[in-house]
Structure 1
Amino acid sequence: MNTAGLAAALGAVAIYAGMFAAGRAGAWDGLNGYDQTAIRFAVTTVLVLPFLWAAIMPAVRRIGIGRLFALFVLNGAPYSAVFLGGLVFAPVAYGAALVPGLQPVAVMVVALLWRGQRPALPNVLGAAICLGGVLVMLLDRQVTGNSDLPIGIGLFLLASAMWGTYTVALKTWAIEPREALATNAPLSALLYLPVYLLWQGPEAVLAAPAPAVLLQAVYQGVLVGLVALILFTVAVKTAGSAAVAALAPAIPVLATLIGWAVLDERPNGSQWAGLAVVTTGLLVGTLWPMLKARQQAAVA
């Protein structure tokens, strides 16, 4: 991995890891998942439109309205509201373990049912280990002792399933990153913001402290909505998707450490154990295929 690719990949991983703490901080400031989603896509759309306006209609014609709507549901405003909503009810450690931890399982199941793609042994083993880590988290005594926590966990599970399905959809429909970036934010703003304003209204956003709203605008709207996607694309082009995927297992632990440092949400023993198992599963699912491919290339 060259220096530029490594820097871009590390930047994207760091932003995605910090997203959990940023969303949790917004919840503490009275901004629920709907509020944070509205801020995110309002800001991202304003940033994206001047640069990608010309790419929108060609993308719409190639992808089709039906598929665009599916992508909007799976990784647009609905996904954001579900994911950020989970952080209203559950600490960062749960989101950091459950959302990335179940994505390999979701991708494997959806790819099998949709594409008839049989998973390779490393994927099955990695997904099984991740499931074990998730089970450890779900058996934590805090889950049964907190009436709000199961709601957050349920939302995290749904978010993981949505993202996993989105991942398979991108590959199946051959969606280019530029097309996704050009259409996702504007479509989310067009379909979500009017419903949000009519159904809930911006009262919570207007009542929240200005620094809290600014944090969501900068982190969710600028960093997550735009910068991370650009960094991810640059990293994949310069270093390769396999090399970038190798850094993904760092997200659960890094996100939890950021939550601990910034929000003072210190995980207990069960949560650390679950995170360790999930991270191990992610490592098995990503590094084993890479090592095997290198060995085969060396032999050839």
Structure 2
Amino acid sequence: MPLFAILRCFIKRLKGKFLKNWKPYLAGVLVVLIWSGWITISRYGVHTRLTPADITLLRYCTAFSVVLPFAVRYPWRKFTLYQYLVVGLGVGFPYTMVSFYGLIEIRAAHAGVLVNGMLPVFGAIAALLYFKQRVSAVCYGAIALIFAANIVMIGGNFFSSEHLLGIVLLLCAAVIYTFHMVGVRLWGFTWKDVFVVVPVVNVALFLPLWFFFPSTGFKVPVPEMVLQATYQGLVVNIVALSCVAYAIRHLGTITVSLFMSFVPVITAIFAWLLLGENLTGQEITGIVGCTGGLLIYSRG
């Protein structure tokens, strides 16, 4: 079945559900679009004179400068220190640092597959272990299809010894991010909590550590720093993470992780539409597989 026919069927099937609960789904779509851009911009950033530590510091200091007025009035006794650390660091500097170092070794599109393509698998495991959330065999089949489709997109030659370090780092990023999603749902963090908590926790913990990591002292062109600070600190850390928390609270970890698994698909389509890069047969197969998997999951 052609890709656009599958999309029409998918939209028709979910139209009623979307209309009743459109805000969380819109949040999920925004996250996919923003995260697709984040992988590309991060891949570009780590190949400038900015180091992973520099980009991480720019990200959280920029976000912190925005949330500081809210942090002063935030009810910090609302959660425990352990809960703040899990939610804050799960999408904080441990996640960004392993992602950035992985992106030095791995292309952006392939990185999206390793991190986001694995989230449905880790999300399903976490939902079963922490929330006793069981889904039907059809839904598990859909998750497996999406995972397989993402693997097809990068091809079998990718899994070689020269990519081993990057693969391990990006898989670690997926595991770390899963802890964030579980914590948000398990302890009832709202998007307003995440909005404040993530920048505060990471500035407090990473700023002293930054002096021990390789750095160029931000001796780079100002436009490069502005690009990373704006997208990493505002678009991703403020807008996207707030949307993630909102979507998890209303849709659950499995559904949100399925949304995230479409990041490599959207990245490939953006490259085709905006950069004129031709889609290979493997990439088209992966796009159809991911779309079909989400359609099957909606019916399960």
Q: TM-score, normalised by structure 2?
A: 0.78
Q: CA deviation at 1:95?
A: 1.9
Q: Alignment partner for residue 95 of structure 1, among 111, 114, 120?
A: 111
Aligned to 1:74: 90
Q: Residues 208 and 258 from structure 1, CA distance in 2 versus in 1: closer, same or farther, beyond 3 angstroms? A: farther
Unaligned runs of 5+ in 1: 290-300
Q: Residues 171 and 154 from structure 1, CA distance in 2 versus in 1: closer, same or farther, beyond 3 angstroms? A: same
Q: Residues 26 and 51 from structure 1, CA distance in 2 versus in 1: closer, same or farther, beyond 3 angstroms? A: same
> Would the aligned equivalents of 2:154 and 2:283 in 1 still touch at CA under 8 Å?
no
Identity among equivalent pairs (%): 25
Aligned to 1:17: 36
Give me the whole-angstrom Cα distance separating, in 2, the residues matched to 1:234 and 1:170.
9
Q: Residues 138 and 233 from structure 1, CA distance in 2 versus in 1: closer, same or farther, beyond 3 angstroms? A: closer
> Would the aligned equivalents of 2:43 and 2:104 in 1 still touch at CA under 8 Å?
yes
**1:44-75 CA-partner distances (Å, limit 9, x unpaired):** 011111234311xx2x3121001111222311
Q: CA deviation at 1:156?
A: 1.9
SS of equivalent residue, structure 1 residue 199: coil
Residue 199, structure 1, aligned to residue 218, structure 2: no
Q: Residues 193 and 200 from structure 1, CA distance in 2 versus in 1: closer, same or farther, beyond 3 angstroms? A: same
> Would the aligned equivalents of 1:137 and 1:274 in 2 still touch at CA under 8 Å?
yes
SS of equivalent residue, structure 2 residue 133: coil
Give me the whole-angstrom Cα distance separating, in 1, the residues matched to 2:103 and 2:129.
30
Aligned to 1:212: 224
How big is the alpha-carbon RMSD for the aligned residues of Structure 1 and Structure 2? Answer: 3.3
Give me the whole-angstrom Cα distance separating, in 2, the residues matched to 1:102 and 1:236.
17
Q: Residues 207 and 49 from structure 1, CA distance in 2 versus in 1: closer, same or farther, beyond 3 angstroms? A: same
Give me the whole-angstrom Cα distance separating, in 1, the residues matched to 2:108 and 2:34.
14
- Counterpart of 2:135, as a letter, is P
Q: Alignment partner for residue 46 of structure 1, among 55, 61, 65?
A: 65
1:150-299 to 2 correspondence within 5 Å?
Answer: 150-196=164-210, 198-200=211-213, 202-203=215-216, 205-230=217-242, 241=251, 250-259=262-271, 269-274=281-286, 276-285=288-297, 287-289=298-300
Q: TM-score, normalised by structure 1?
A: 0.78
Aligned to 1:297: none
> Would the aligned equivalents of 1:253 and 1:279 in 2 still touch at CA under 8 Å?
no
Name which of structure 1's ranges 127-136 and 105-114 shifts more when overlaid on structure 2.
127-136
SS of equivalent residue, structure 1 residue 119: coil
Aligned to 1:131: 147
Aligned to 1:293: none
**1:100-135 CA-partner distances (Å, limit 9, x unpaired):** 221111011122223333333343112211332344
Residue 115, structure 1, aligned to residue 127, structure 2: no
Give me the whole-angstrom Cα distance separating, in 1, the residues matched to 2:137 and 2:276.
39
Q: Residues 133 and 9 from structure 1, CA distance in 2 versus in 1: closer, same or farther, beyond 3 angstroms? A: closer
Unaligned runs of 5+ in 2: 1-17
**1:254-279 CA-partner distances (Å, limit 9, x unpaired):** 22334567788766544554454345
Give me the whole-angstrom Cα distance separating, in 1, the residues matched to 2:164 and 2:277.
18
Q: CA deviation at 1:199?
A: 0.6
Aligned to 2:15: none
Q: CA deviation at 1:12?
A: 4.0
> Would the aligned equivalents of 1:33 and 1:88 in 2 still touch at CA under 8 Å?
no
- Counterpart of 1:66, as a letter, is Y
SS of equivalent residue, structure 2 residue 126: helix
> Would the aligned equivalents of 1:26 and 1:216 in 2 still touch at CA under 8 Å?
yes
Give me the whole-angstrom Cα distance separating, in 2, the residues matched to 1:165 and 1:228.
17
Q: CA deviation at 1:247?
A: 6.1
